């Protein structure tokens, strides 16, 4: 038993060293990438030079299920966009609350017939609305499916070559779409552009606009997530984007090439993490088709989204995400098995599986060995040293992303906010991280349990 524990410890140390190396490389890559993007927009936005004729039309698809409190802000934020050529498609996914009546009343919607032949199969579309006040707003009333099903329904009526997904609880900056489109136009063979998403909780929003300067939320749960989003979007995705191997962009705010997504079969309606799923699917589809492609990221295109405000909601959300991720990775497992999938197959897919999907499981095992070690009285100074180093490393990574924010886009400007983010980074490892790991492990166990019993995943 003791021998097994020692072996497990060695494996965990090895695992940690490889992960730390990977993250350090990503961090190093993200700095020049983020600073380059920052310099692109900070001293006179080149996107402003775009002529009206080259402003390609973009559809913004907003899936909404029981979002009566938030939907208007999302729609208004799309309407507030400074991009000249926008169509808004709201896909009402069988909401049971007043989402649809509220939309009808606010935007003066009228029912209109539509000829629709489904490119992608979705749940039945019951009604279709257009707005008398805003000719660029269309609303679909459909039978409830998943978020991805609602996006697919929007995709079926999308008539533009580019579309963007925007969650109903998300608001974006007015220049966000033009920055995404600029990135799309300035990268050859681009099929997807991701934007940066930050935490909306704690900020006042009216008519799709942030009334206050962005601030770190007061609650612990939201505060921790604030740090997590910052590091994930500012260094994780930027780093992967630098190498061209990013596997997940937020479904809350991403621009897609319509034809490519339709050709790849649309969003997977059976998957909770449809955003990660579609990115992986597009990688695989384009590589299988031997077509050149680029999946890009622009940290200067910014949106804010609501995150779970309580531990219970957070627990549920992370469990669901984990199951979704596992579904996606299992479905596209061949991506990691063949050399022909390039950097995605050789590096980013295995890295994601090892350190993002199964990372929490390994971390959970580490905590378990620690407990068992305590029980057998095996915890000595070397173990304490390792824990200290691990904690110091994670704090360093968090600090680095906070500082990257500080020198570039400076989302959170106030000194109090920066101090609180430092504080959250330091105390993250004392309780909250373990809770998060547990929620992921629960999701993993649920996934495998359902799989073994032949249940819906």
The residue ranges that bind another protein (CB under 8 A) are 38, 42-44, 46, 48-51, 53-54, 56, 110-113, 115, 117, 161-162, 182, 184-190, 259, 380-382, 384-385, 388-389, 392, 395-396, 399-400, 403, 406-408, 410
User: 405-420 b/e with 16+ CB inside 10 Å = b?
Assistant: beebbebbeeeebbeb
User: What is the 8-class DSSP label of residue 124?
Assistant: P
DSSP string across 161-190: SEEEEE-TTEEE-TTHHHHHHHHHHTSTTE
Closest distance to another protein from the beta carbon of 312 (Å): 34
CA distance 318 to 311: 10
Closest distance to another protein from the beta carbon of 203 (Å): 23
Nearer to another protein, 53 or 133 (CB): 53
Nearer to another protein, 101 or 206 (CB): 101
Closest distance to another protein from the beta carbon of 381 (Å): 4
Nearer to another protein, 301 or 400 (CB): 400
Closest distance to another protein from the beta carbon of 37 (Å): 13
User: 107-133 b/e with 16+ CB inside 10 Å = b?
Assistant: bebeeeeeeeeebbebbebeebbbbee
Closest distance to another protein from the beta carbon of 115 (Å): 6
CB atoms under 10 Å from CB of 296, counted, come to: 19
Nearer to another protein, 161 or 450 (CB): 161
CA distance 75 to 168: 8
Closest distance to another protein from the beta carbon of 126 (Å): 13
Closest distance to another protein from the beta carbon of 329 (Å): 31
Nearer to another protein, 129 or 272 (CB): 129
Nearer to another protein, 354 or 429 (CB): 429
User: 225-263 b/e with 16+ CB inside 10 Å = b?
Assistant: bbbbbbbbbbbbbbbbbbebbbbbbbbbbbbbbbebbbe
CA distance 136 to 85: 9
Q: Is the dihedral of CA 322, 326, 332, 334 positive or negative?
A: positive
Closest distance to another protein from the beta carbon of 347 (Å): 24
CA distance 71 to 99: 7
Closest distance to another protein from the beta carbon of 189 (Å): 7
CA–CA distances in Å: residue 7 to residues 1, 4, 16, 166, 389: 10, 5, 14, 47, 19
Nearer to another protein, 148 or 370 (CB): 370
Asked whether 136 and 233 are in contact (CB, 8 A), the reply is: no
Beta strands in 293-358 (DSSP E): 294-305
Closest distance to another protein from the beta carbon of 148 (Å): 23
Nearer to another protein, 112 or 206 (CB): 112
Phi and psi torsions of 223, nearest 5° = -65, -45
Asked whether 125 and 112 are in contact (CB, 8 A), the reply is: no
CA distance 155 to 140: 11
Pick from 355, 372, 345, 336: nearest CA to 17: 355
Nearer to another protein, 171 or 397 (CB): 397
Nearer to another protein, 40 or 306 (CB): 40
The residue whose two tokens read 């490889």 is: 18
**Chain-centre distance for alpha carbon 447:** 21
Torsion of CA 235, 231, 441, 386, to 10 degrees: 90
Residue 365: exposed, middle, or buried by beta-carbon count in 10 A (0-12, 13-18, 19+)? middle
Nearer to another protein, 180 or 441 (CB): 180
Closest distance to another protein from the beta carbon of 152 (Å): 20
């Amino acid at each position: 038993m003791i021998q097994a524990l020692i072996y497990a410890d060695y494996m965990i140390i090895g695992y940690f060293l490889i992960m730390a190396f990977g993250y350090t490389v990503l961090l190093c890559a993200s700095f020049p990438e983020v600073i380059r993007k920052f310099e692109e927009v900070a001293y006179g936005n080149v996107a402003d030079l775009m002529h009206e004729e080259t402003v390609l039309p973009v559809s913004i698809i907003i899936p909404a299920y029981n979002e009566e409190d938030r939907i208007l802000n999302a729609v208004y934020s799309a309407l507030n966009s400074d991009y000249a050529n926008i169509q808004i498609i709201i896909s009402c996914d069988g909401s049971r609350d007043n989402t649809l009546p509220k939309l009808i009343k606010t935007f003066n919607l009228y029912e209109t017939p539509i000829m629709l032949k489904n490119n992608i199969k979705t749940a039945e579309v019951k009604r279709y609305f257009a707005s008398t006040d805003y000719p660029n707003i269309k609303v679909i009333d459909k039978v409830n499916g998943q978020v991805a099903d609602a996006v697919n329904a929007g995709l079926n009526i999308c008539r533009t070559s580019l579309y963007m997904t925007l969650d109903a609880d998300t608001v974006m900056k007015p220049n966000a779409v033009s920055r995404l489109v600029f990135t799309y136009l300035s990268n050859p063979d681009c099929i997807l552009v991701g934007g940066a998403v930050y935490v909306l909780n704690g900020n006042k929003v009216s008519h799709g606009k942030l009334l206050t300067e962005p601030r770190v939320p007061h609650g612990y749960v939201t505060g921790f997530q604030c740090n997590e989003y910052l590091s994930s979007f500012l260094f994780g995705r930027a780093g992967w984007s630098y190498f061209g191997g990013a596997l997940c962009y937020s479904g809350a705010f991403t621009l897609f090439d319509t034809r490519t997504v339709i050709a790849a079969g649309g969003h997977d309606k059976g998957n909770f993490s449809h955003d990660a799923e579609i990115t992986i699917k597009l990688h695989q589809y384009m590589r299988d088709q031997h077509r050149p492609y680029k999946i890009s990221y622009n940290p200067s295109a910014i949106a804010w989204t609501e995150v779970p405000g309580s531990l219970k909601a957070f627990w549920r959300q992370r469990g669901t995400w984990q199951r979704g991720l596992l579904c996606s990775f299992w479905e596209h497992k061949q991506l990691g098995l063949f050399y022909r999938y390039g950097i995605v197959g050789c590096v980013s897919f295995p890295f994601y599986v090892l350190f993002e999907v199964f990372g929490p499981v390994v971390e959970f095992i580490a905590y378990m060995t620690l407990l068992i070690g305590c029980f057998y009285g095996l915890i000595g100074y070397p173990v304490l040293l390792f824990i200290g180093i691990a904690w110091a490393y994670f704090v360093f990574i968090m600090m680095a992303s906070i500082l990257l924010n500080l020198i570039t886009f400076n989302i959170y400007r106030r000194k109090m906010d920066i101090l609180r983010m430092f504080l959250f980074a330091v105390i993250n490892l004392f309780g909250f991280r373990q809770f998060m790991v547990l929620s992921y492990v629960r999701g993993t166990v649920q996934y495998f349990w359902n799989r073994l019993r032949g249940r819906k995943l």
